[in-house]
Amino acid sequence: MWGRSIRIARLSGFDVKVDASWLLIASLVISSLATSYFPASLPDGQPMTHLAMAFIGLAGFFASILLHELAHAIIARGQGVRNSGVTLFMFGGVAEMADQLPTPLTEVWIAVAGPVASLGLALLLWCGARLAATAGAFEPGAAVLSALSMLNLTLGLGNLIPAFPLDGGRVLRAILWMRSGDLVGATRCATRLSALFSALLILFGLFIIFAGDTAGGLWPVVIGLFLLSAARTSYRAVQQAAERDGRKVADLMSRDPCTARPDQSLSELVNQVFLDRGFTFAPVIEDGVVLGYVDTHMVLRIDRENWATTVVDDVIESIGNENAVSPDLPGRELFDRISRTGRRKFMVVVGTTLVGVVTLSDLVSYLNVAEDLQGLPA
């Protein structure tokens, strides 16, 4: 539905493309301006005048979206993110990024650039409209300026809605990404919120339509449908980038973990493994066979005065499917398992032999490090 785009111009090094869906937004803008906004602000005007003004307004709106997208693209280029072009999409545009964004903070700067440009332009246009109105100058001109000011305000504020992939949703994803260090998980979370928001928007639009205002209700429905499809597409793109990376647990794990013996006392374990070497987790090995693991939580469940007389074997969690993985497991599946179970540390085993341990932080660096995602085919 979205994706048939035509290149129409080249502006300061960016390809400007128009998506077919833009025709829909264009007709919505024309009909709203010609049948509702301009007749209200210029009641004496002829319908043909209103229609002509609506077309001028549409051209201005087109330029406004272009400015919004160029603001994203220019900041992105300033931050060193290569981008191939700007596509005018439904409701705002989508500044195409050639690569994944390098850091969450960069994404925030790029995302807010567009709304800042739109809101600034809205203010300028509003001042222009006020000036023209007080000077008693050409009335239709003042009406077009104030319509454009309103459209830019809508563009700026509408894009700040935290529904991914709108700009506000990108900021939200960047914040989630910053906190978890996990781009795929943050995108999934932002996508779910966006789906919820889209559904509410569609319901709201349908409500308005059933209340009798078809044109007014069409906007929220169309934007909601667009958001639903755009969010899904964006999530899939991020997920596929992570999948294509194709690394397995064997590439992510630590190969030389600190291990414990079943007959070791807890005080020895605490001093030699947890305190001395800074580990919080140790697989338990006897005669080369992995029996299970112990971690700081299990030890803390035992009163400190009993640490000398309690041995690892008394607190061990035995090895099982829930705490052990194969070195061949794709990193992506490990990630799913961590998000499903909340477990952060796994033993990596082949048969009964321990070959390493893999933790959430190993995986986080795998999903987070910019170089890992950069240079992937788009």
Tokens of 48: 């043909």
| Ramachandran region, residue 3 (left: φ > 0; alpha: ψ -120 to 50; beta: rest) | left
29-37, 83-91, 109-117, 207-215 -> range binding Zn ion (CB under 5 A): 109-117
CA-to-CA distance for 344 and 293, rounded, in angstroms? 13
The residue (of 159 and 187) whose beta carbon lies closer to Zn ion is 159
Binding mask 296-335 for Zn ion (x = CB under 5 A): ----------------------------------------
The residue (of 57 and 114) whose beta carbon lies closer to Zn ion is 114
Question: How many chain residues interact with Zn ion (CB under 5 A)?
Answer: 3
167 lies in the binding site for Zn ion (CB under 5 A) = yes
CA-to-CA distance for 347 and 292, rounded, in angstroms? 8
Tokens of 171: 């900021």
Beta carbon of residue 167, minimum distance to Zn ion (angstroms, whole number): 4
112-120, 207-215, 301-309, 340-348 -> range binding Zn ion (CB under 5 A): 112-120
48-56, 162-170, 208-216, 245-253 -> range binding Zn ion (CB under 5 A): 162-170
The residue (of 16 and 354) whose beta carbon lies closer to Zn ion is 16
Residue 353 host element (H or E): strand 353-359
The residue (of 159 and 191) whose beta carbon lies closer to Zn ion is 159
Question: What amino acid occupies position 280?
Answer: T
Report which residue's Cβ sits closest to Zn ion. 114
CA 251 to chain centre: 26
The residue (of 41 and 106) whose beta carbon lies closer to Zn ion is 106
42-50, 108-116, 324-332, 353-361 -> range binding Zn ion (CB under 5 A): 108-116
114 lies in the binding site for Zn ion (CB under 5 A) = yes
Q: Tell me how long the chain is.
A: 378
With beta carbons less than 8 A apart as the criterion, state whether 107 and 173 touch: yes
Helices (H), the chain: 22-32, 38-41, 47-78, 104-134, 139-160, 167-180, 183-210, 214-245, 249-252, 266-269, 276-277, 296-300, 312-315, 331-341, 360-368, 370-373
The residue (of 115 and 205) whose beta carbon lies closer to Zn ion is 115
Taking CB under 5 A as the criterion, which residues in 11-70 touch Zn ion?
none
26-34, 165-173, 328-336, 357-365 -> range binding Zn ion (CB under 5 A): 165-173
CA-to-CA distance for 287 and 354, rounded, in angstroms? 11
With beta carbons less than 8 A apart as the criterion, state whether 373 and 102 touch: no
168 lies in the binding site for Zn ion (CB under 5 A) = no
CA-to-CA distance for 295 and 269, rounded, in angstroms? 10
The residue (of 115 and 217) whose beta carbon lies closer to Zn ion is 115
159 lies in the binding site for Zn ion (CB under 5 A) = yes
With beta carbons less than 8 A apart as the criterion, state whether 281 and 361 touch: no
107 lies in the binding site for Zn ion (CB under 5 A) = no
Binding mask 349-378 for Zn ion (x = CB under 5 A): ------------------------------
Instruction: List contacts with Zn ion (CB under 5 A).
Output: 114, 159, 167
